Amino acid sequence: MTLADAAIDLRGLRKTYGSLEAVRGIDLRVERGEVFALLGPNGAGKTTTVEILEGHRTRTAGEISVLGHDPGRNEPALKRRVGIVLQQTGVDLYLTVREVVEMIAGYYPAPRDVDEVIGLAGLTEQRDQRVKKLSGGQRRRVDLAVALAGDPELLFLDEPTTGFDPSARRQAWETVRGLTALGKTIFLTTHFMDEAQALADRLAIIADGQIVASGTADELIGATSAATRIRFRLPDGAIPPDAAGARVAGSAWEIETDAPTRALNLLTGWALETETPIGDLEVNRRSLEDVYLQLTADAEATE
């Protein structure tokens, strides 16, 4: 495999701002056709990384390939193949949605059909409305339509659903899924763990300028610590068998385990045998959010 085979390949990326090391040697690989999410707390280095990939910032060190090009060279041949949805973009508010998309499409050699782009962005009903009249969430969709106009192979989405209501978020997710069905590669930054879990094939967590974990959501959830949490209540004075590995958690008991069947068997077997009622039994898989909070807290603690 060479750097150029993947949609994005980053090796040893570093970026310093004066004495601040914002990105401290990160490696990332995004395959073609994949949705990849970059997660991390405020100030972790996400925007810096993404803007270097987009060719909007220079790097201090590292090798980068985006669709086989070095984005630092600002080649038009690369720019035509990449779409970018920034957190805020400026389009002419007095144009209609269709006029905006048509205008942008005009800059590209092989644009996607304008009405199809509007449909993909979920704006068919608003097609002839001026952007000025649209809601905040609908304007974000115009930004997406603008990014799609040139029919890019690779799309950067920077916090695409911030400010959306729950149903608009679900619609945006459907749009992203529609884009992957068309074979697009998507690089997403988000603060929403459910979004990353719902959309990303693979993800990376960045904390303090370094990647602290990467893989599929399942790999991340399985890799850090026990993947299942069992919670329950017992009558005062009742103590579950040692082998179940339970510990007191507030007014309840908790078991964290990678072998939930065995732990539940021990617990419920003991309860039946001793006629001890188990209350409020809950069995939950750790969420990506649990993993994220643990990893980013660990990174902060080792600073």
Residues near ligand ATP, by CB under 6 A: 17, 20, 22, 40, 42-48
Contact 97, 129 (CB under 8 A): yes
Q: What is the DSSP letter of 275?
A: T
Which residue's CB is nearer to ligand ATP, number 18 or number 237? 18
Torsions phi, psi for 183 (to 5 deg): 90, 10
CA 198 to chain centroid = 9
Whose Cβ is closer to ligand ATP: residue 59's or residue 81's? 59
Cβ-Cβ contacts under 8 Å for 293 (sequence gap 6 or more): none
Cβ atoms 187, 156 nearer than 8 A = yes
Question: Largest Cα–Cα distance of the chain, in whole Å?
Answer: 76
CB of 209 to ligand ATP, least distance (A): 7
Residue 265 CB, shortest distance to ligand ATP, in Å, is 44
160 vs 260, which CB is nearer to ligand ATP? Answer: 160
Q: What one-character DSSP code corresponds to residue 133?
A: G
Which tokens belong to 129? 């409305």
Q: Which is nearer to ligand ATP, 41 or 150 (CB)?
A: 41
Contact (Cβ atoms closer than 8 angstroms) between residue 155 and residue 82: yes
Closest listed residue to residue 109, CA positions, set 146, 136, 165, 149: 149
Give whichever of 66 and 227 is closer to ligand ATP, judged by the CB atom. Answer: 66
- Which residue, 205 or 220, is less far from ligand ATP as judged by CB? 205
What is the closest distance, in whole angstroms, from the C-beta atom of residue 42 to ligand ATP in the complex? 3
Residue 197 near residue 206 (C-beta atoms within 8 A): no
CB of 35 to ligand ATP, least distance (A): 19
Least Å distance between CB 62 and ligand ATP?
A: 15
**Residues 6 or more apart whose Cβ sits within 8 Å of residue 191:** 39, 159, 162
Contact 97, 127 (CB under 8 A): yes
Q: How far is the CB of 296 from ligand ATP (least distance, A)?
A: 11
Question: How many other C-beta atoms lie within 10 A of the C-beta of residue 28?
Answer: 21
Q: How many residues are there in the chain?
A: 303
Residue with smaller CB distance to ligand ATP, 22 or 101? 22
CB of 156 to ligand ATP, least distance (A): 13
| Residue with smaller CB distance to ligand ATP, 23 or 264 | 23
d(CA 287, CA 194): 9
Q: Which residue, 20 or 181, has its beta carbon nearer to ligand ATP?
A: 20
The CB density around residue 177, as the number of other CB atoms within 10 Å, is 13
Q: Rounded to whole angstroms, how far apart are CA atoms 194 and 197? A: 5
